[in-house]
């Protein structure tokens, strides 16, 4: 326990200023390239850097790799209302609250409550906001009200006057797609397609898993032809992914919580695969590593309530040192599914992956270039060590494009 406490102290004491670098505005990709797979690919393998093209990704992967994709879909989470006074109120939907399940919330036909961020909140005095929308030539009145204006302005109840339409269709027609704030522009028509992966399926994110934006059918065909396997998980990306670390050390940073969903056949595929596991994006990394810690919980407490599964921010650094292998953790989770007679697992994770973290499930990763002093850059550094600086300096010197619509990296270690 002493060594583990020392590790926790070491990790929480990390100074975020050590993860700063100069990112000129002209290096930030404000728009995607004309073709998704035409982006550059920086390949880093055991300290060696190679410049490549993303369309040739399959050529650089270890034989028999298993690529793990986050199939979440970005929702049109920004809703704009106009008060009778002319004041504009923006409601940014974050997570469903009542009902709390994403799928059920999107299927509601009369009303639902969401946790939201409010723009121009001081102008909203508690009255009901109204907005007329049209779906299939049907006029619908959408209303928004604060459930407790005095104590909790972040919970907003939406109501609409036509039960023939589910909330998923309401928000699809009433809202706008939230693109990253650092793009410093309004959402455009092209973003509706390009700020989604081609394999997006499950609605719930307010930000795209951007490492996946480079994939095309041609890339997938190349991967399959070369004998690589593909698997999908779902983690709904929250707005907290853009939240900067404002404290001097990361001990003062409150890591955002995100919901993820996996199936029994996914766990079985992880167990049975003999090759490398390559996570597509930091959201897939967070999910994979969280799965391990849920397995540890199931081993330590076989009576754990499956409905309450969650990984806390510092859990990976507080546990006693263990030699439990990932296959043992996966088998424990499958046993939990057996006990509850289900093939589906839903959980939340607040895990922060920072230098000092030992990766249990991830052998390699595909990711974009991340913002300075961000938790995403901490995650990259946890895998690369100080090599991240060499990589980023190389990218800046060789005209790589940064952030969500930018170029890609493949990181591999033997």
Global pTM value? 0.93
Rounded Cα gap, residues 410 and 41, in angstroms? 7
CA 389 from chain centre, in angstroms, equals 23
What average pLDDT does range 311-333 have in this prediction? Answer: 90
* pLDDT at residue number 242: 75
Q: What is the mean pLDDT of residues 302-313?
A: 92
The tokens of 284 are what?
Answer: 């897939």
pLDDT tens digit string along 362-395? Answer: 999 999 999 999 999 999 999 999 999 999 999 9
| Model confidence at 258: pLDDT above 70 | yes
Confidence label for 244 from pLDDT (cuts 50, 70 and 90): confident
H/E run at residue 345: strand 344-349
**pLDDT at position 125, please?**
86
Share of the chain above pLDDT 70, in %: 97
Handedness of CA 241, 313, 260, 273 (dihedral sign): positive
Euclidean distance between CA atoms 223 and 280, whole angstroms: 13
Q: What is the pLDDT of residues 60-73, one digit of tens each?
A: 999 999 999 999 99
First and final C-alpha spacing in the chain: 29
Q: What does the mean pLDDT of the chain come to?
A: 94
User: What is the number of other CB atoms lying within 10 angstroms of the CB of residue 408?
Assistant: 27
pLDDT level of residue 6 (50, 70, 90 thresholds): confident
Domains detected in the chain: 2-73+193-412 (3.40.1780.10), 77-176 (no CATH)
Q: Which range is least confidently modeled, 117-131, 248-262, 309-323? A: 309-323
- The partner residues of 112 in beta bridges, in order of sequence, read 158
Radius of gyration of the chain (CA): 22
d(CA 69, CA 220): 12
Mean pLDDT of the region 62-89: 95
Report the distance separating Cα 329 and Cα 291, nearest Å: 8
Ramachandran quadrant class, 403 (left: phi over 0; alpha: psi -120 to 50; beta: rest)? left
- Cα distances (Å, whole numbers) of residue 371 to 49, 180, 383, 406: 21, 12, 17, 12
Sorting pLDDT into bands at 50, 70 and 90, what band is 243?
confident
pLDDT of residue 318: 83
pLDDT-derived band at 3, boundaries 50, 70, 90: low
The answer, yes or no, to whether residue 310 has pLDDT greater than 90, is: yes
H or E, element range at 147:
strand 138-148
Q: CA 377 → CA 52, 66, 85, 384, distances in Å?
A: 22, 24, 44, 10
What confidence score (pLDDT) does residue 152 get? Answer: 64
pLDDT at residue 320, as a whole number: 60
Q: Look at residue 261 in the predicted model and tell me its pLDDT.
A: 96
Q: pLDDT tens digits for 180-230? A: 989 999 999 999 999 999 999 999 999 999 999 999 999 999 999 999 999
Who's near 136: CB < 8 A, 6+ residues apart?
none
Question: For residue 385, how many other CB atoms are within 10 A of its CB?
Answer: 11
How high is the pLDDT of residue 1? 46
Grade residue 84 by pLDDT with cuts at 50, 70 and 90. confident
d(CA 69, CA 17) in angstroms, rounded, equals 31
How many other β-carbons are positioned within 10 Å of the β-carbon of residue 271? 12
CA distances for 50 relative to 241, 277, 300, 348, 394, angstroms: 28, 21, 43, 36, 10
Looking at residue 128, what DSSP letter applies?
A: P
What's the pLDDT band for 150 if we cut at 50, 70, 90? Answer: low
Task: List, in sequence order, every beta strand (DSSP E) within 168-325.
Answer: 175-176, 202-205, 229-235, 258-263, 277-280, 310-311
Q: What are the tokens at 14? A: 């990390």
pLDDT value at residue 256: 87
């Amino acid at each position: 326990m002493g060594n583990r406490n020392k590790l926790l102290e070491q990790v929480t004491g990390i100074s975020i200023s050590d993860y700063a670098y100069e990112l000129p505005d002209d290096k930030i990709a404000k728009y995607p390239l004309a073709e998704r797979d035409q982006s550059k690919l920086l390949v880093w393998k055991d300290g060696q850097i190679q410049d490549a093209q993303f369309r040739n990704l399959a050529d650089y992967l270890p034989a028999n790799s298993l690529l793990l994709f986050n199939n979440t879909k970005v929702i049109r989470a920004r809703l704009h209302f106009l008060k009778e006074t002319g004041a504009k109120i923006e409601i940014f939907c974050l997570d469903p609250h009542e009902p709390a399940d994403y799928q059920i919330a999107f299927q509601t036909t009369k009303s639902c409550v969401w946790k939201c961020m409010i723009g121009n909140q001081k102008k909203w005095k508690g009255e009901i906001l109204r907005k007329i929308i049209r779906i299939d030539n049907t006029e619908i009145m959408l209303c928004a009200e604060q459930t407790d204006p005095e104590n909790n302005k972040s919970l907003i109840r939406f109501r609409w006057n036509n039960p023939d339409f589910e909330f998923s269709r309401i928000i699809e027609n009433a809202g706008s797609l939230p693109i990253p704030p650092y793009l410093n522009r309004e959402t455009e028509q092209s973003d509706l397609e390009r700020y989604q992966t081609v394999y997006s399926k499950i609605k719930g994110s307010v930000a795209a898993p951007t490492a996946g934006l480079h994939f095309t059918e041609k890339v997938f065909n190349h991967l399959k032809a070369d004998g690589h396997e593909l698997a999908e998980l779902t983690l709904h990306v929250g707005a907290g992914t853009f939240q900067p670390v404002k404290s001097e050390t990361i001990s003062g940073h409150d890591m955002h919580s995100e919901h993820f969903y996996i199936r029994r056949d996914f766990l079985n595929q992880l167990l049975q695969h003999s090759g490398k596991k390559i996570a597509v994006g930091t959201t897939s990394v967070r999910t994979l590593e969280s799965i391990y810690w849920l397995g540890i919980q199931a081993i330590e407490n076989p009576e754990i309530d499956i409905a309450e599964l969650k990984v806390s921010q510092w859990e990976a650094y507080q546990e006693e040192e263990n030699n439990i292998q990932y296959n043992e953790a996966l088998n424990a989770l499958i046993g939990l599914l057996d006990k509850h007679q289900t093939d589906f697992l839903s959980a939340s994770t607040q895990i922060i992956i920072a230098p000092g973290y030992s990766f249990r499930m991830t052998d390699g990763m595909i990711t974009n270039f991340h913002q300075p002093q961000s938790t995403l850059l901490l995650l990259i550094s946890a895998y690369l060590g100080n090599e991240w600086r060499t990589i980023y300096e190389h990218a800046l010197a060789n005209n790589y494009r940064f952030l969500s619509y930018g170029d890609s990296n493949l990181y591999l270690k033997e």
